[in-house]
């Protein structure tokens, strides 16, 4: 069914998708960690993770975490009584903050990595 | 065609204010079924804006006697004064009962029901306007209708939504029942009953420019007329002075009650000339005629055919708080903010004072001598008690529907034991089925829309605010032509499911009958009174015409009988404001 | 000033084969006319089988709610001059279609019935009106405006996925009675909406607020209900 998207429903959609991805990531992360029982396996895993593609994945993960964090803050503010007249403004400000923090974070992250 | 039978002690046609109020009354002592061609909260009662009048005296001193006087004078002394007294004295308890049922009235700072000024309502027998209209922002009709419908749901009243009535069966001067079609699937339903309450509202859609909804076509009145029952005072149709220019959408009288004034092309407050004392709050028929007079004499805005309703000087907070709906209408449809620009308005067809004649307890009259039809009742705009006479005052209609809706319901229930169960004969049902098939299979060349449009234009041109003998006679001839054209109607939709084209065709036949009654009644009343203004007979003639018109349909056409007006308290006087 | 518009309408005619199809009509409309006027013109002059609900034609009854250019609106309040030249018209989403633009609203109305939409007060009423301060009346003023057109609930993605969800309209109706100081059935209604398919299913998507023709901030009311439910939860359900 086609229905027009607006900032309210788009924010919710992004929040839901980032939430699902984070949940899947968490499961994968715990699975990986649970297999680390000795220094040999640990070093093998660390070498594996030195592959540049994982750096890209981690940057994307960082963006997803930021998005879900600010989305969550917006919803919490609404639920404790912040006026609903500002829900769109909060979405825009949230998106802006995510972008700024991600750029700054990405800069330091890549500097470290390379 | 599927035919399903039902039995109810009382069948109520129409789910507006009058219908719901009588349903609440009837539900305590018998089985009730309410039929409506719309979902109940969509009934046109929801569009009522301004207020419901009662001499509560919450904001300033008031008395039911003054209310009675105002209503009698407003009706141009054609209203039956005993009925008006009943309505005005009952009003106080009625409003309090409504509040107990949950109507969310606007409140005074002390928490009592707030009241505002309204056209024609005065204190001290006409000295100055008085605050008598109880309101809920400017959605009073909506508030009261929702509360009444909700109470019906609480009491478990059975509603048949989107059922259109095709025939009200009366035989041997007794009610037998109703034949209706379920719009959703085209099945025919036969409701046999002991009593029927008709509460179907007005018939504004007969006119081209109207504030009324598409559903207000008055077919139930025509069904009763065709069975030999009379219709009362049909020539009196109120044209509300302030309808949005070009659309007919209503701008409530409450706007003038809060201080709005009418301006002509010269920027003058012309109502000062027509009603020196109460000016813009004069009764609606006077204001409509005043506006059209100004336009005729070339004093419309820029010489065009409308005037301005000016709210710019009214406190912005008051507009926001008490007139939010009309602000929305102006913003959406005209792109203007009433607090910053004046609103273009012209008179629009609004309310039917006439209708099914009843006595003070809602029983439908068969003739001028007061004899009744067994088991048939009517209330609301579709009935004529008559409390509004030749012109209705604002906020009296909501009061009329609730007071007489309750009375009709009460009477229907009290008389149940004396009435026999209805029985609808097979021939009646086959006749209805045949007439539906005739329309479906007709191979003519006319469309429902073109015949209807011509009907509405003719009625608006020749039978609205100003009427003349020559034009009315021409109108009657045009109506005969329309009747012939109606027989040639062709509809494209042959389905049984939600066939609105077929239903509109059926409604149109009844609308033409009603138009004929209105035009003939207007022609035979050779005087001007209230909303009925004859340019060839501009004076009120109490010697010859202080009587109600009863229109009957006979073999040779419409003929008339007369019933005297009940004068108890106030003698007729000149109607000056 | 007249202009030509193309109305692309989704048809559903249960008696024909195929039952669904898209029809296009070109209509000439002026600057104060609305989508409803266009639909009426089409029904009167081009195709009498086109079926849609209409009544008051000025936005107070809620009959003509439909999806216009991808968003739920009232056809009588949508001026054509604010729309693009090609206007897509479909019935309200997620409800069974009876014919063309007419949907079966019974599911929508049943949800309203579940929240006990009537004033319940069995105390002996006073001789005159019950006292209610203007401030108390203002609390429910916005929720009174609802005309039950169905635009909000049928625009809510939660309703699309879960037909048992009470929906914005029913929750707003619950608010209207819970916060009416004259009502005495607060606990019953709170229990109904504080359930699996009640207020907690709302995720503040705001689609309802986008489409409400009376501009009611429905999400704000649902959030107020959530806060009330939480307060009640902490105090163990007592006043």
Contacts 24+ apart (CB under 8 A), B457-462: B457/B208, B458/B482, B458/B515, B459/B206, B459/B207, B459/B208, B459/B515, B459/B518, B459/B519, B460/B207, B460/B208, B460/B209, B460/B349, B462/B519
Model confidence at C236, pLDDT cuts 50, 70, 90, reads: low
Fold entry, domain C106-234: Fumarate Reductase Iron-sulfur Protein; Chain B, domain 2 (1.10.1060)
> pLDDT tens for residues A50-86?
788 888 888 899 999 999 999 999 999 999 988 889 9
Q: What is the pLDDT of residue C239?
A: 47
So what's the architecture of B426-564 in CATH?
Up-down Bundle (1.20)
pLDDT on residue B119: 82
Buried b (16+ CB within 10 A) or exposed e, A57-72: eebeebbbbbbbebbe
Indicate which residues of B carry an active-site annotation: 284
Taking the CB of residue A88, how many other CB atoms lie within 10 A of it?
Answer: 14
- The confidence score (pLDDT) of residue A57 equals 87
For the residues A108-113, what does the mean pLDDT come to? 80
pLDDT at C238: 47
B366-422 residue pLDDT tens: 999 989 999 999 999 999 998 999 999 988 999 999 999 999 999 999 998 888 888
Tokens 């308005």, residue? Answer: B345
Name the CATH topology of B240-347. Answer: Flavocytochrome C3; Chain A, domain 1 (3.90.700)
CATH assignment of C3-103?
A: 3.10.20.30
Q: Is B533 helix (H, G, I), strand (E, B) or coil?
A: strand
C42 within 8 A of C50, measured Cβ to Cβ: yes
Q: How far apart are CA B420 and CA C107, in angstroms?
A: 38
ipTM of the complex: 0.94
Residue C172 has pLDDT above 90, yes or no: yes
Helix residue ranges, H only, B330-395: none
Q: Contact, B46 vs B66, CB < 8 A?
A: no
Chains C and B touch (3+ CB pairs under 8 A): yes
First-to-last alpha carbon distance for chain C, in angstroms, is 61
- Measured distance CA(B220)–CA(B448) in Å, rounded: 19
User: Rounded to 5, what percent of chain A is helix, strand, coil?
Assistant: 85, 0, 15
C-alpha to C-alpha distance for A75 and A84, rounded to whole angstroms: 10
Contacts of B146 in chain C (CB under 8 A): 144
Q: Residue C167's pLDDT is what?
A: 92
Q: Give strand pairing partners of C29.
A: C3
One pLDDT digit (tens) per residue for chain B, 577 residues: 678 999 999 999 999 999 999 999 999 888 999 999 999 999 999 999 888 999 998 889 999 999 999 999 999 999 999 999 999 999 999 999 999 999 999 999 999 999 998 888 898 888 888 999 999 988 899 999 999 999 999 998 999 999 999 999 999 899 999 999 999 999 999 999 999 999 999 999 999 999 999 999 999 999 999 999 999 999 999 999 999 988 888 888 888 888 899 999 888 999 999 888 888 888 888 899 999 889 888 888 888 889 999 999 998 898 888 888 888 889 888 888 999 999 999 899 999 999 999 999 999 999 999 899 999 999 999 999 989 999 999 889 999 999 999 999 999 999 988 888 888 889 999 999 999 999 999 888 889 999 999 999 999 989 989 999 999 999 999 999 999 999 999 999 899 999 999 999 999 999 999 999 999 999 999 999 999 999 999 999 889 999 999 999 998 889 999 999 989 888 888 887 7
- Supply the mean pLDDT for chain B: 91
| CATH fold for the domain made of A7-113 | 3 helical TM bundles of succinate and fumarate reductases (1.20.1300)
Do the Cβ atoms of B551 and B560 come closer than 8 Å? yes
Judge A/B contact: 3 or more CB pairs < 8 A.
Answer: no
Chain C contacts to A (CB-CB under 8 A) = 67, 69-71, 93-94, 155, 157, 160, 203-207, 209-210, 217, 219-220, 223, 226-227
Q: Do C144 and B136 count as a contact with CB atoms less than 8 A apart?
A: yes
pLDDT digits (tens, 9 = 90+) for B149-160: 999 999 989 999
**pLDDT given at position C219:** 94
**In the predicted structure, residue C237 carries a pLDDT above the cut 70:** no
CB contact under 8 A, C128 and B96: yes
Q: Which of residues 36-75 of A touch C (CB under 8 A)?
A: 75
Q: Would you say the CATH fold of B426-564 matches that of B240-347?
A: no
Q: What is the mean pLDDT of residues C83-92?
A: 94
> Is the pTM above the cut of 0.90?
yes
CB B329 within 8 A of CB B290: no
User: What is the number of CB-based contacts under 8 A between chain B and chain C?
Assistant: 154
**Domain locations in chain B as residue ranges:** 240-347, 426-564
The phi, psi pair for B84, rounded to 5°, reads: -65, -40
Q: Which stretches of B463-569 are DSSP H helices?
A: 469-486, 500-524, 542-545
Average pLDDT over residues C187-197: 88
Residue whose C-alpha is closest to residue B448's, from B478, B480, B492: B492
DSSP state of A105: H
């Amino acid at each position: 069914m086609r229905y027009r998207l607006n900032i309210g429903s788009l924010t919710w959609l992004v929040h839901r998708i980032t939430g699902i991805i984070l949940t899947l990531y968490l499961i994968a992360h715990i699975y990986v960690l649970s297999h680390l029982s000795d220094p040999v396996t640990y070093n093998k895993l660390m070498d594996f993770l030195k592959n540049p593609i994982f750096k890209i994945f981690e940057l994307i993960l960082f963006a997803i975490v930021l998005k879900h964090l600010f989305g969550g803050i917006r919803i919490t503010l609404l639920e404790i009584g912040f006026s609903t007249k500002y829900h769109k403004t909060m979405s825009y400000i949230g998106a802006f903050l995510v972008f700024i923090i991600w750029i700054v974070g990405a800069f330091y992250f890549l500097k470290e990595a390379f | 065609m599927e035919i399903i039978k039902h039995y109810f002690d009382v069948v109520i046609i129409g789910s507006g204010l009058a219908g719901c109020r009588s349903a609440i009354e009837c539900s305590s002592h018998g089985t009730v079924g309410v039929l409506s061609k719309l979902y109940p909260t969509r009934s046109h009662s929801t569009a009522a804006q301004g207020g419901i009048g009662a001499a509560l005296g919450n904001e300033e001193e008031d008395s039911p006697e003054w209310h009675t006087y105002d209503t009698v004078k407003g009706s141009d002394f054609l209203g039956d004064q005993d009925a008006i007294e009943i309505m005005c004295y009952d009003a106080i308890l009625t409003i309090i009962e409504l509040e107990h049922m949950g109507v969310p009235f606007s409140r005074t700072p002390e928490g009592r029901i707030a009241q505002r000024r309204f056209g024609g309502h005065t204190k001290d027998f006409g000295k100055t306007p008085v605050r008598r209209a109880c309101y809920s922002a400017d959605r009073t009709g909506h508030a009261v209708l929702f509360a009444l419908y909700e109470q019906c749901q609480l009491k478990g009243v059975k509603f048949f939504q989107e059922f259109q009535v095709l025939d009200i069966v009366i035989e041997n001067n007794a009610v037998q029942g109703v034949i209706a079609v379920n719009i959703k699937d085209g099945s025919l339903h036969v409701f046999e009953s002991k009593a029927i309450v008709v509460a179907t509202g007005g018939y504004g859609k007969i006119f081209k420019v109207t504030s009324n909804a598409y559903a207000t076509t008055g077919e139930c009145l025509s069904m009763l007329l065709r069975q030999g029952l009379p219709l009362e005072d049909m020539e009196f149709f109120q044209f509300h002075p302030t309808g949005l220019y070009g659309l007919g959408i209503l701008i409530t009288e409450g706007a003038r009650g809060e201080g709005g004034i009418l301006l002509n092309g010269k920027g003058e407050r012309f109502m000062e000339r027509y009603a020196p004392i109460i000016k813009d709050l004069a009764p609606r028929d006077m204001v409509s005629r005043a506006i059209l007079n100004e336009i005729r004499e070339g004093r419309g805005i820029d010489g065009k055919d409308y005037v301005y309703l000016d709210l710019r000087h009214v406190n912005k907070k008051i507009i926001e708080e008490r007139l939010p709906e009309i602000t929305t209408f102006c913003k959406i449809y005209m792109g203007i903010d009433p607090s910053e620009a004046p609103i273009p308005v012209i008179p629009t067809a609004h309310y039917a004072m006439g209708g099914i004649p009843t006595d003070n307890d809602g029983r439908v009259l068969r003739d001028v001598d007061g004899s009744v039809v067994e088991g048939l009742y009517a209330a609301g705009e579709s009935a004529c008690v008559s409390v509004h006479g030749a012109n209705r005052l604002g906020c009296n209609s909501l009061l009329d529907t609730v007071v007489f809706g309750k009375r009709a319901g009460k009477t229907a229930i009290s008389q149940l034991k004396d009435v026999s169960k209805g029985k609808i004969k097979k021939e009646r049902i086959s006749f209805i089925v045949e007439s539906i098939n005739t329309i479906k299979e007709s191979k003519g060349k006319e469309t429902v829309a073109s015949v209807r449009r011509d009907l509405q234009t003719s009625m608006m041109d020749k039978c609205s605010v100003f009427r003349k003998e020559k034009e009315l006679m021409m109108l009657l001839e045009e109506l005969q032509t329309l009747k012939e054209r109606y027989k040639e109607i062709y509809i494209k939709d042959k389905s049984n499911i939600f066939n609105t084209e077929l239903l509109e065709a059926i409604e149109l036949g009844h609308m033409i009958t009603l138009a004929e009654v209105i035009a003939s009644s207007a022609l035979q009343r050779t005087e001007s009174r209230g909303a009925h203004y004859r340019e060839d007979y501009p004076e009120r003639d109490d010697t010859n015409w202080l009587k109600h018109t009863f229109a009957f349909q006979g073999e040779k056409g419409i003929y008339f009988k007369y019933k005297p007006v009940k004068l108890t308290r106030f003698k007729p006087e000149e109607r000056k404001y | 000033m007249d202009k030509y518009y193309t109305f692309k309408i989704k048809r559903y005619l249960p008696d024909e084969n195929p039952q669904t199809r898209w029809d296009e009509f070109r209509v000439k409309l002026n600057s104060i006319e609305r989508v409803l006027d266009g639909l009426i013109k089409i029904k009167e002059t081009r195709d009498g089988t086109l079926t849609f609900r209409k009544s008051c034609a000025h936005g107070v009854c809620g009959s003509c709610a439909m999806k216009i250019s991808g968003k739920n609106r009232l056809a009588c309040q949508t001026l054509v001059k604010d729309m693009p030249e090609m206007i897509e018209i479909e019935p309200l989403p997620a409800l069974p279609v009876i014919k063309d633009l007419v949907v079966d609203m019974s599911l929508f109305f049943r949800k309203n019935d579940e929240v006990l939409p009537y004033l319940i007060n069995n105390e002996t009423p006073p001789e005159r009106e019950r006292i209610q301060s203007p401030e108390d009346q203002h609390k429910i003023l916005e929720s009174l405006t609802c005309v039950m057109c169905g635009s909000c609930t049928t625009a809510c993605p939660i309703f699309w996925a879960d037909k048992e969800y009470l929906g914005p309209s029913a929750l707003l109706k619950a608010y209207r009675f819970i916060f009416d100081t004259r009502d005495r059935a607060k606990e019953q209604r709170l229990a109904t909406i504080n359930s699996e398919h009640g207020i907690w299913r709302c995720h503040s998507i705001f689609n309802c607020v986008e489409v409400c023709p009376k501009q009611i901030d429905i999400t704000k009311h649902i959030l107020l209900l959530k806060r009330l439910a939480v307060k009640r939860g902490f105090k163990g359900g007592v006043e």
